[in-house]
Structure 1
Amino acid sequence: MNDYSDEELLRRIEELMAYGETPPTIEPSLLRYLDRDSLLEIIRKLEKRQENLIDEEKEWLKQFRKEE
């Protein structure tokens, strides 16, 4: 991810925050206040949160599977 511009990192954060919904818009002026490491850390945390949500959904869906 180090090859991406700050704007691209911000778009990735917006995508991760949306999680299947209409993406929220983050004010691009926030880039003035966040350094690259901060943006990468936000992305890492959001990806982890999304990963946890997917695992929770899988567990929830298991209850509807027919056991053989």
Structure 2
Amino acid sequence: MGDEKKRKMLQRIEELMSYGEPTPTIEPSLLKYLDEAALRGILETLERRREKLIEDEKEWLAQFRKEES
């Protein structure tokens, strides 16, 4: 896998981990130690966690909506 693809995957991982915070969370030099399978696994885990968080937030917000009868 090329370094550019690794950088893009790392950037996406950082976006998912930061949850809107501007501070980088992963040192780019760690790229040389991660292979494509490891990066893909991290991305999949973070995507699932993000989806779960979004669903939890929707449920939480739903309790504030007016119920119509």
User: RMSD of the alignment, in Å?
Assistant: 1.3
The equivalent of 1:66 in structure 2 is 66
Larger radius of gyration: 2
User: What TM-score, normalized by structure 1, do the two folds share?
Assistant: 0.87
Consecutive unaligned residues of structure 2, counting only runs of 5 or more, are none
1:19-55, CA deviations, whole angstroms, 9 ceiling, x for partnerless residues?
1222433111111111011001100000000000000
For residue 22 of structure 1, give the secondary structure of its aligned residue in structure 2: coil
The equivalent of 2:40 in structure 1 is 40
Distance 1:54 1:13, change over 3 A: same
Count, aligned residues: 65
Larger proportion of helix = 2
Consecutive unaligned residues of structure 1, counting only runs of 5 or more, are none
* Runs ≥4 residues deviating over 3 A: none
For 1:67 and 1:54, the matched residues in 2 are separated by 21
Cα contact 1:16–1:46 (8 A) shared by 2 = yes
